[in-house]
């Protein structure tokens, strides 16, 4: 009996030793395992100029007001999938005055409802049409966008002209500047005017509070698809001042994009012009724009561009039951509206879109 008890005690001691040894090994293995924190990601969509000419306003009129939603029904899905979406708006939303088109744009407040419905979150108001109905018109525009839940960039009192948003844990800063404001002097203090010294100070300030800085520039010569040496130099100077991404507006036609390596070794992407997102302009190339689908990623050390897709869009116009329809569509929707598009127009759309895609092809995985 004593012999059996001794054997049992010895076995228990061995099991206890092995058990403790196993635990120690497991602890040792756990200590050697580095748990990688999940990276933070933010999907940003940016579109070009949103302009409502009088024919568009008239076509959106209903018995109860205005309905602009059909204009964005075919791109709503893309925009709504973004974590944050931004557009450039030309003109005012001044309900104290009647709607008007060119040269002094004033859109009905229902236009904001449609833009919000489409998934857009913030509006750039630093452009040459900021004061189309005067300073009071700009103030009412700022108020109306705010009431509808859309943030403004580039206009208002100084402290409100920048925008910083937390998108999934990534703080993204937006700044916007315009080259001029159609000869108006009253109200200039409410709009960011393009000045390199000011831009340098603003970028330095905002980058102390955000992970990634996007700068909008309303600049350049209208309808010119080529980029001048002066324009390239301006974008590069602002990149060297600290901008992380630069978006161009005002030419109303799409220009090429560029990846530029700054003096401090960062890669900054320029979209020299996104062209029109929606308008009633009739000049060649003004009916094809570009959407930016930008994915940012943040790890412990930096925030960088993980993916970038530049998507051509076409402004389709057609009449149905005597009523004008103006609609933004992507190229994959062309077949859906083939009965609304002439063969020669379809050829033009495909040729120009292919050219735009070639000139705006940037492989971000190569930018290290």
The string of DSSP letters for 113-174 reads HHHHHTT--EEE--STTTTTTHHHHHHHHHHHHHHTT-EEESBSSGGGSSEEEEETTEEEEE
Q: Is the pLDDT of residue 277 over 70?
A: yes
Task: Report yes or no: 178 and 192 within 8 Å, Cβ to Cβ.
Answer: yes
Separation between Cα atoms, residue 151 and residue 328, nearest integer Å = 23
pTM exceeds cut of 0.95:
no
Q: Is the pLDDT of residue 100 over 60?
A: yes
pLDDT value at residue 366 = 76
pLDDT value at residue 10 = 52
| The two structure tokens encoding residue 345 | 């127009």
- The model's confidence at residue 21, banded by pLDDT at 50, 70 and 90, is low
- How many C-beta atoms surround the C-beta of residue 349 within 10 A? 19
pLDDT tens, residue by residue, 170-211: 999 999 999 999 877 667 789 999 999 999 999 999 999 999
Greater confidence (233 vs 366) lies with 233
pLDDT value at residue 219 = 96
Tell whether omega for the bond before 103 is within 30 degrees of 0, i.e. cis: yes
Question: From its phi and psi, is residue 362 left (phi > 0), alpha (psi between -120 and 50) or beta?
Answer: beta
Separation between Cα atoms, residue 245 and residue 215, nearest integer Å = 6
pLDDT tens, residue by residue, 24-38: 554 555 555 555 667
Mean pLDDT of 313-317: 98
Give the lowest-confidence range in 15-19, 65-69, 354-358. Answer: 15-19
pLDDT value at residue 30 = 54
| CATH topology for the 43-366 domain | Purple Acid Phosphatase; chain A, domain 2 (3.60.21)
């Amino acid at each position: 009996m004593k012999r059996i008890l001794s054997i049992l005690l010895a076995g228990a001691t061995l099991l206890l030793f092995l058990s403790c040894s196993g635990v120690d090994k497991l602890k040792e293995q756990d200590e050697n395992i580095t748990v990688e924190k999940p990276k933070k990601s933010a999907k940003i969509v940016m579109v070009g100029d949103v302009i409502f000419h009088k024919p568009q306003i008239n076509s959106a009129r209903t018995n109860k007001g205005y309905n602009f939603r059909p204009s964005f029904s075919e791109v709503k899905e893309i925009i709504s999938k973004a974590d944050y979406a931004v557009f450039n708006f030309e003109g005012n939303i001044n309900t104290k005055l009647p709607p008007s088109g060119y040269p002094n744009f004033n859109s009905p407040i229902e236009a904001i409802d449609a833009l919000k419905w489409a998934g857009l979150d913030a509006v750039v108001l630093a452009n040459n049409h900021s004061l189309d109905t005067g300073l009071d018109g700009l103030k009412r525009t700022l108020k109306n966008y705010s009431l509808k839940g859309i943030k403004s960039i580039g206009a208002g009192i100084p402290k409100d002209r920048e925008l910083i948003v937390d998108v999934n844990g990534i703080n993204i800063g937006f700044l916007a500047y315009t080259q001029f404001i159609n000869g108006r002097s009253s109200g200039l203090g409410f709009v960011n005017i393009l000045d390199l010294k000011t831009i340098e100070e603003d970028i330095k300030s905002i980058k102390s509070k955000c992970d990634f800085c996007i700068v909008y520039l309303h600049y350049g010569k209208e309808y010119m698809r080529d980029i001048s040496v002066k324009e390239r130099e301006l974008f590069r100077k602002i990149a060297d001042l600290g901008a992380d991404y630069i978006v161009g507006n005002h030419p109303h036609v799409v220009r090429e994009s560029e990846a530029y390596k700054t003096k401090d070794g960062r890669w900054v992407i320029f979209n020299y012009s996104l062209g029109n997102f929606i308008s009633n302009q009739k000049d060649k190339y003004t009916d094809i724009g570009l959407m930016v689908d930008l994915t940012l990623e943040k790890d412990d050390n930096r925030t960088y561009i993980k993916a970038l897709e530049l998507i051509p869009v076409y402004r389709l116009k057609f009449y149905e039951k005597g009523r004008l329809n103006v609609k933004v569509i992507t190229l994959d929707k062309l077949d859906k509206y083939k009965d609304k598009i002439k063969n020669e127009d379809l050829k033009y759309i495909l040729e120009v879109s292919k050219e735009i895609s070639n000139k705006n092809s940037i492989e971000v995985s190569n930018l290290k």
